[in-house]
Structure 1
Amino acid sequence: MIKIIITGSNGLLGQSLLALLLGRKDKYEVVGFSRGINKSGRHDFQYVSIDLTNESRLFEELERVKPDVIVNTAAMKQVDQCEKEKYLCEEINVQLVDNLIQFSEKNNVYIVHLSTDFIFDGDKGFYKENDIPSPLNYYGVSKWKAEKKLIESNVNYAILRTILVYGTDVRVSCSNIVLWVKESLESGVKINVVDDQYRMPTLVDSLAEVCQAVIKKRKKGIFNVSSKKLLSVYDIAMEIAEVFNLNKELIFPISTEKLSQFAKRPKITGFDLSKTEKEFQLNFKEFSYDLKRFKQKIT
């Protein structure tokens, strides 16, 4: 029996991973750490309501649970908010990781940490795990700082870098690219979507499945996780309209310059997925395939 703590268990990935692991109660004992009430809709696991930035309480609960594995899905992910509230971003995205490392080094705990394509400047795309990060915004800076802390530690860890995670949970606390486009078009709302930023969106179910595979094998290192085909964000929105039979005429392309986002975004990210596919015998799919899988789940 493997005892696993999921930090940020109320979030999109947290809930998806929780459901996946609780499907194998013969193998996993799962404990959720998150702020506020349990939003998963499930009551067949131990839930700890906790402010993860409260260090003394965090260490107290970690010592009480004594996990074998910590999956750190908790993060401040709103890119513009991170730029405006750097102290809070640092506290959640960096200091929390440092505290998890301190506990894990003393207790031989395996850490699975979620990171992002935004650690790169977007000048080339199709990034490999050993490419040198150069973030353009503070969200990316904070996630790269956290990665470095893990890499320089004595902890056994896996860093999973991912891109534009989408899906749905029991109580959706924040939107994502697919839900935003889908719900806007269903409401007849016109949307402006950047046509000069390129990404490989990630279905949350696929990401949860990779987390489970990583926990099983306990491999150390950095692994890329996303869909396969590089698309402009505008093309992503058009694909969503296509799959859900929504009005494409409500989608308008706009340049990054005209959109004037508060924090800079990398132009082209996307990952080389060959290392992850080889290490875990996986075959990642294109966005259109995963999107149809998502549609089947929610309809």
Structure 2
Amino acid sequence: MKTILVTGSNGLLGQKITAAVLAGREFNLIATSKGLNRFMPENGYIYETMDILDPSNVRTVVEKHRPDTIIHTAALTNVDKCHEQRELADQLNVAAVQTLADICAEFDIHLIHLSTDFVFDGAAGPYDEEGTPNPLSYYGETKLRAEQVLQRAKCKWAIVRTIIVYGIVREKSRSNIVLWAKEALEKGEPINVVNDQWRMPTLAEDLAEGCLLIAEKNAEGIFNISGAEMMSISELVGKVADFWKLDRSLIREISSASLNQAAKRPVKTGFILDKAIHQLGYVPHHFNEGLAMLDNQLKARDL
């Protein structure tokens, strides 16, 4: 049975990969993250504390378990924080990838790295895997440099580009645009939502499935893994309101310029998914199906 090691296993994607393996996927799993394991149950896989900014720690863990594949989910993904804390963004989003690439080359490990639609400027979306990157933000720049690290690397590699990932983790502290909108509207709070940016939101379970398909098939190269439906951010939030029968009148549509965000965002990204569909057998859920799954998970968690 193939062994996979996941970095950032306490995060949303990391937890969904763990859940998929425990649900019956044929892998031995080594889950790693900084600090204590926040995923329950803790049986059925091995958990190791690992700091991706400590090359000797990474080497020790990898050498101990000798995985066939590493799925690298850990990163600094807050776009404005990357803009403001550039050295930290460089370390987490670029230097850590170089460390993993070097170790994977040494031990003949297949490295799957998570990237983003923010490597593009949004002028020509939706993009296929051959689209020309041109990031607008420092976050996008670091993710593009990480892609370039892999493209120069001597290990087997795959890059997974994704868009606005939503879902829930076991603890209640993590949020994303779907949960943020739902919770604010349930409290009767007015929310400002941009109506001039377009994305294809991705269910976390779908992204985990895409990563595991790549691991199973030892696939190499760049793969777009996202939802299949293009919508504006305001449309996305409107669908959240409609699904949970919340008050749409609380949604205030605004322009991106009025937010005065530190980092620029691309206007329209989105992906063409043909490669993942045909080469991997990837089939994303419709957005409303994803919301229904999320609703069931929230009800189960709150029991």
**What's the TM-score, normalizing by structure 2?**
0.95
- Distance, in Å, in 2 between the alignment partners of 1:154 and 1:172 is 40
- Distance, in Å, in 1 between the alignment partners of 2:289 and 2:46 is 35
After TM superposition, give the deviation of residue 4 of structure 1 in Å.
Answer: 1.1
SS at match of 1:183: helix
Write the mapping of 1:111-130 to structure 2, written as runs, cut at 5 A: 111-130=111-130
Letter of the structure 1 residue corresponding to residue 182 of structure 2: K
SS at match of 1:41: coil
Correspondence for 1:30: 29
Correspondence for 1:169: 169
Q: Deviations over 1:160-211 (max 9, x none)?
A: 1000000001024431110100111111111000000000000001111111
| Identity between Structure 1 and Structure 2 (%) | 39
Correspondence for 1:265: 265
**2:111/2:157 contact within 8 Å kept:** yes
Instruction: Name stretches of at least 5 consecutive residues in structure 1 with no aligned partner.
Output: none
**1:81 and 2:110 aligned:** no
**1:159 and 2:159 aligned:** yes
SS at match of 2:252: strand
Correspondence for 2:281: 281
After TM superposition, give the deviation of residue 273 of structure 1 in Å.
Answer: 0.8
**1:245 and 2:245 aligned:** yes
Write the mapping of 1:225-240 to structure 2, written as runs, cut at 5 A: 225-240=225-240
**1:98/1:149 contact within 8 Å kept:** yes
Q: Deviations over 1:129-177 (max 9, x none)?
A: 0111000001100111111111111211111100000000102443111
SS at match of 1:292: helix
Q: Deviations over 1:216-249 (max 9, x none)?
A: 1111111111111211100000000011111111
**What's the TM-score, normalizing by structure 1?**
0.96
**1:199/1:268 contact within 8 Å kept:** yes
Write the mapping of 1:27-176 to structure 2, written as runs, cut at 5 A: 27-44=26-43, 45-176=45-176
Which shifted more, 47-56 or 163-172?
Answer: 47-56
**1:11/1:173 contact within 8 Å kept:** no
- Distance, in Å, in 1 between the alignment partners of 2:252 and 2:188 is 13
**1:15 and 2:29 aligned:** no
**1:112/1:159 contact within 8 Å kept:** yes
- Distance, in Å, in 2 between the alignment partners of 1:114 and 1:178 is 21
After TM superposition, give the deviation of residue 28 of structure 1 in Å.
Answer: 1.5
After TM superposition, give the deviation of residue 73 of structure 1 in Å.
Answer: 0.5
- Residues 201 and 256 of structure 1: CA distance in aligned 2, closer, same or farther (over 3 Å): same
- Distance, in Å, in 1 between the alignment partners of 2:173 and 2:221 is 31
**1:12/1:172 contact within 8 Å kept:** no
**2:203/2:285 contact within 8 Å kept:** no
**1:200/1:287 contact within 8 Å kept:** no
**1:83/1:263 contact within 8 Å kept:** yes
Q: Deviations over 1:112-137 (max 9, x none)?
A: 11110000001121111011100000
- Distance, in Å, in 1 between the alignment partners of 2:173 and 2:53 is 19
Correspondence for 1:201: 201
Aligned residue-pair number: 298
Aligned-CA RMSD value: 1.3
Which shifted more, 169-178 or 37-46?
Answer: 169-178
- Distance, in Å, in 2 between the alignment partners of 1:158 and 1:70 is 10
**1:76/1:93 contact within 8 Å kept:** yes
